[in-house]
């Protein structure tokens, strides 16, 4: 954690718990935690429930010296609210590799928003290698053939 105090939000917990050095909080604690954070990292799936889940209210709760980092999907944030917060110095920085619209067209006004840092959308790197993914795939084929549950299955009720 590089000397940082790390807090996380997890939909499936009812009360704060410790996982190693990280304090995991229920989703209901988000607004209570935001004013304390120097960095907020969004790494959640895009579902009907999470679309535009980070907007004016959440930005208002953050410190003006805080940075927002989105490593997930552009539609999680209210893009115009983030750009407004940056222009009004209510947010120190926004780092993202996804935009709304995607891709952000050449000449779009948001390219000039102060402290909006858009990086290439190329964060995926299979670890330790693509061979692990291939082995998982073939093992899951064997599991299906033998009537066993597959690993890494999508929960369609949750949307991911």
Give Cα 17 distance to the centre of its chain: 20
pLDDT at residue number 124: 61
Low-confidence spans in the chain with pLDDT less than 50:
none
pLDDT at residue number 94: 98
Please say if 121 is a catalytic residue: yes
pLDDT at residue number 128: 62
Tell me the pairing of strands 17-19 and 22-26: antiparallel
Predicted structure pTM score: 0.79
Please say if 73 is a catalytic residue: yes
Please say if 145 is a catalytic residue: no
Per annotation, catalytic residue among 31, 51, 89, 102: 102
Tell me the pairing of strands 116-118 and 67-70: unpaired
């Amino acid at each position: 954690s590089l000397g940082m105090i790390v807090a996380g939000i997890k939909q499936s917990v009812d009360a704060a718990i410790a996982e190693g050095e990280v304090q995991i909080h229920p989703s209901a604690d988000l607004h209570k935690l935001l004013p304390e954070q120097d960095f907020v990292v969004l790494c959640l799936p895009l579902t009907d429930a999470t679309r535009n889940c980070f907007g004016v209210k959440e930005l208002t709760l953050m410190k003006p010296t805080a940075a927002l980092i989105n490593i997930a999907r552009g539609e999680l944030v209210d893009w115009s609210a983030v750009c407004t917060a940056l222009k009004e110095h209510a947010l120190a920085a926004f780092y993202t590799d996804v935009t709304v619209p995607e891709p952000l067209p050449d000449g779009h006004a948001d390219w000039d928003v102060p402290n909006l840092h858009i990086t290439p959308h190329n964060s995926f790197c299979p670890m330790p290698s693509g061979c692990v993914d291939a082995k998982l795939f073939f093992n899951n084929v064997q599991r299906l053939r033998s009537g066993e549950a597959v690993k890494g299955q999508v929960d369609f009720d949750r949307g991911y």
